[in-house]
Amino acid sequence: MMKSDIRRQGIVDFLIDAGQASVDDLAARFGVSKMTVHRDLDELEESGVLRKVRGGASIQPSSLFESDFRYRQKQAAEEKQRLAAAAVAMVEPGQTVMIDDGSTAGGIARHLADLRPLTVISNNLAVIQELAGTGGINLITLGGQYSKKFHGFFGLLAEASLRSLRADVAFLSSSAILGASAFHQDQEVVQTKRLMMAAATRKYLLVDHGKFGRSALHFLTELTAFDTVFTGREPEPEMRKALDGAGVSLTVVAN
């Protein structure tokens, strides 16, 4: 019989592709009882990698739960690439650029080699791996505790580093936009993002259009704190009206 830790990793891998699955499907797929699947899901939910829903499990976000980094990377991938390509125009050679843990903001990294020399500060392991060893990039990585779910570094060490650094430009992402405010499900992630904003002269938010009209547990910031908000599709008229009324600068990067 498959070991429980291997089976649980298999459940997570399956959900990263499928988004959600029923207990019956998982029991059949892994050749175990439904009771065993329930125990696996309880364990995985306690670890914060999925959430149990009626009759099964989901890795999709909710107001209390943010998805695994690998799942988020796959969502709206083409739109995120467009946003990164447009937002990098805000960077000039010689500047210091800060990039947060988000999969959307993280897409900036692949464009930065064209703007060398640069100093890049990040807690995003995907960004660090992309830029490590690249000539002309002075890479400053934020220490801290590694989060597999967010694929980045957080906690007291990361926060202490951010308080001692300054950047010309910061690129951030957020999991939910409601009205003219940004929200996130994880308080530690919120704290890191706020410190990045405080450390940067100019701040830009990159969010795919699916984030609008959603809320999450923790308030991050008003959108007016950003020099502009990049998104890939025009928001619904009522949403656009609320953003304009609040004085939010919105840049729509259409197809």
> In this structure, what CATH number is given to the domain that contains residue 54?
1.10.10.10
pLDDT tens for 70-81 read: 888 888 889 999
Same-domain status, 124 and 22: no
Q: Is residue 172 predicted with pLDDT exceeding 80?
A: yes
Is there a domain that residue 65 lies in? no
Closest CA to 150 of 60, 43, 66: 66
Is there a domain that residue 66 lies in? no
The pTM (predicted TM-score) of the whole model is: 0.91
Give the single-character DSSP code of 60: S
Residue 170 φ then ψ, to 5°: -125, 135
pLDDT, residue 64, reads 87
Same-domain status, 232 and 119: yes
Within the chain, how many helices (H) and strands (E) appear?
10, 15
Within the chain, where are the H helices? 4-18, 23-30, 34-46, 69-74, 77-87, 103-106, 125-131, 156-163, 187-199, 237-246
User: 23: domain range?
Assistant: 4-60
Same-domain status, 187 and 240: yes
pLDDT, residue 1, reads 59
Question: How many domains does the chain divide into?
Answer: 2
- Percent of the chain beyond pLDDT 70? 99
Task: Give the number of other CB atoms < 10 A from CB of residue 95.
Answer: 17
Give the single-character DSSP code of 68: P
pLDDT, residue 92, reads 97
- The CA distance from 224 to 226, in Å, is 5
Grade residue 7 by pLDDT with cuts at 50, 70 and 90.
very high
Give the single-character DSSP code of 214: -
Same-domain status, 84 and 40: no
- Which tokens is 76 given? 């709206």
The average confidence (pLDDT) of the chain is 94
pLDDT tens for 112-167 read: 999 999 999 999 999 999 999 999 999 999 999 999 999 999 999 999 999 999 99
Give me the count of residues in the chain.
255
Closest CA to 219 of 187, 247, 171, 253: 187
- Which tokens is 146 given? 């590694």
Same-domain status, 120 and 25: no
Same-domain status, 94 and 186: yes
pLDDT tens for 11-30 read: 999 999 899 999 999 999 99
